Amino acid sequence: MTRSKRVPEDCAIRFEPDGITMKVAPGTTVLDAALDGGVMIDSVCGGAGRCGRCKVMVRGAAGIAHGARKSMISAEAPKTVLACLTTVEGDLKVSVPEYSRVGVHQILETSENVPLKELSPLARKVHLKLPLPSLKDNLGDAERLRRALKKEEDKGARIPLSVLRTFPAAMRKGNWEITVTIAECQNGNEIVAIEPGDTSKHLCGLAIDIGTTTVVVSLIDMISGSTLATESTYNQQIVHGEDVLTRITYAEEHGAQKLNRQILETIRTLIPKACEKASRKAGRKISPICIMSASVSGNPTMMHFLLGLDTRNIRYEPYIPVVNTPQYFRAEELGLGIDPHALVYICPGRSSYVGGDVLADVVASGMHLKSDITLLIDVGTNGEAVLGCKDWMVACSCSAGPAFEGGEVSSGMRAMQGAIDRIQIDPAGEVKFHTIGDRGPLGICGSGLIDLVAGLFINGFIDRHGNLAKGKTKRIREGDDGDIEFFIAKRGKGGNVKGLTDVAPGDIAVKESDIQNILRTKAAIYSGCSVLLKTMGYDFKDLSQIAIAGGFGHYLDVRKAMIIGLLPDVEMKRYRFIGNGALEGARLALLSKQKRKELQKIYENMTYLELSVNNTFFEEFTSSLFIPHTDLDRFPSVKELMELERNARK
């Protein structure tokens, strides 16, 4: 008799203080178990064991991976481990501290509002009173409807079978008074709904901005064009890595289904909240099923995950996406959680790294309608830049890396509660700071990092290479790892902030290696912009305007960004902040056929410049690794400030 192989039983894992208990297969990492259970543990590196953000305390049967080996740990006392490197080998209790969780983000929901002279929305309603059928007038229900429609394009509108099945009941319930919802499709119009009676004054659409870190949705009144409600949250995918390349790698190794599910769950969580808020404002019930159209902007990787497309070729040269101009889909195809017949428009992208979010920025900025030359910069988890006017455009992706989103910096963090977003350093080395939410400091986000490096440089605590001046102040010291660092504060303490009881031990400090990562990030962004201008035969002084888009751009101090060499040294009046241009561009596309045409024209007129094979970029990048730049004449106001500070210290 052959003995059957014993299949290991599932293990019970309990997360505290959440009170969540679940069963998982032996060998499952604690991080994967947490994600499946809805416990959002921070993991900037996507579970590769590099970032050290996913610290948890375990008690029970667990194993810790050491390369190809795995060692068992004591089941007696709680042990602090990395969730991504720890496997469940038996029943296990896991305590997840606050500092290891994905916290509440500071998310930019607002933008410049672009007025529309007239509305031509993606979906619209037509109210009709149909003549009653008779033996003499015996047209079918659909033909009777078509005869009553006035526009030729509406008369020939496609009627899906699922909608056709609703015709008889709706027409007779309304005593032949009906409201028809007609949506614009790729190849003509489509009737997406028929309702009894007159509901023509109520029609909602959805504008969606899918970012690598955050997602924002706005519920739009399609009749007036006004915004009824806006909701935002973090993108649930961030537990698989800070940047798109890490997530693409995760999809290659584990499949993209989870990433597709997570972005849909993120959106579906926000839609009911927006409907509830709008219902209170309008004094009537607005439900997700009332939403008959949606417009989505996002970077190419996020769009691929939303659509369930293969992302692997985005990562490898020659960096080819599945599609740049996906355009129209039905909500039921995507699983979006609104009326299944609703039409969903996807803003076109230009390349694997310049997507619909950037083209939406362009539409929101209006630079494509002007004769003067504009430079648009969107700095987020990655950096993109567009140079041009109504006649031409050239764009690039700056491959900035996640330093300004908190990655690659030892005390860095996203713009969440407890993040230091403003820092002042005086000549004596004393520090004052502000945190998001006025909470005890947990780390430093992008705007705080720029303030910090600018303050250190102007006050002589770092040189133009980013090296700290040893002995200049007691805050400059040798860290536990031997790296020189500038001490800022104890976690959870200092400044005019509320204290915390659940914080990671240790200090908040910036190391020389952190400063080098910040300089590489700023150098990539500045160099990308500089190469665009050089390629087209222009200089920064030739620009009529520099439009800054995105959440990070909204919160940064432009003057300090100039000091470190992130942004060009031009008059402040040339800078314009458009806010969340990706969301505003999606709103415009939702409400205006003209704007949808403009997006397509921008796509056709835009040239993409691949910087990874551009020798000029590497030359510019090397020169930009200094503060503010190797060539100080490019930054005249910073040069003057340096001389003033030098004289003041004499």
Domain 204-352: give its CATH code. 3.30.420.480
Rounded CA-CA distance 125/298 in Å is 28
- Top pLDDT among 80 and 572 is at 572
- Tell me the pairing of strands 575-579 and 545-549: parallel
pLDDT above 90 covers a percentage of the chain that reads 69
Distances (CA, A) of 605 to 134, 239, 602: 55, 37, 5
Class of domain 11-100 (CATH, top level): alpha beta
Residue identified by tokens 């599932």 is 10
Three-state secondary structure readout of 104-143: CECCCCCECCCCCCCCCCCEEEEEEECCCCCCCCCCCHHH
- Top pLDDT among 407 and 603 is at 603
Give the pLDDT mean for 285-302.
96
Residue 501 has pLDDT above 60, yes or no: no
Say if residue 318 is preceded by a cis peptide, omega within 30 of 0: yes
Which band of pLDDT confidence, cut at 50, 70 and 90, is reported for residue 593? very high
Say if residue 17 is preceded by a cis peptide, omega within 30 of 0: yes
Class of domain 123-196 (CATH, top level): alpha beta
Residue 498 has pLDDT above 50, yes or no: no
How confident is the model at residue 75, as a pLDDT?
Answer: 52
Residue 504 has pLDDT above 60, yes or no: no
> CA torsion 607→554→40→315, rounded to 10°?
20
Report angle CA 607, 610, 613 to the nearest 5 degrees: 145
CA 203 vs. chain centroid, Å, equals 28
Tens digit of pLDDT for each residue in 21-78?
999 999 899 998 988 888 888 887 777 777 778 889 998 888 887 554 555 555 556 7
Beta strands in 325-475 (DSSP E): 327-330, 343-346, 374-379, 383-388, 393-397, 419-425, 431-435, 443-444
Residue 7 corresponds to which tokens in the numbers above?
């299949």
Whether the domain at 123-196 and the domain at 204-352 fall into the same CATH topology:
no
Residue 8 has pLDDT above 70, yes or no: no
Rounded CA-CA distance 286/276 in Å is 7
Tens digit of pLDDT for each residue in 78-101?
788 999 889 998 899 999 987 788
pLDDT above 70 covers a percentage of the chain that reads 93
Which band of pLDDT confidence, cut at 50, 70 and 90, is reported for residue 3? very low
- The answer to whether 247 and 301 are in contact (CB under 8 A) is yes
Which band of pLDDT confidence, cut at 50, 70 and 90, is reported for residue 391? very high
**Angle between the 512-535 and 615-623 helix axes, to the nearest 10 degrees?**
130
Give the pLDDT mean for 508-530.
94
- Where do the structural domains in the chain lie, given as residue ranges? 11-100, 123-196, 204-352, 357-399+528-649, 403-518
Q: What are residue 329's DSSP bridge partners? A: 344
Fold adopted by 357-399+528-649: Nucleotidyltransferase; domain 5 (3.30.420)
Count of residues making up the chain: 650
Residue 496 has pLDDT above 60, yes or no: no
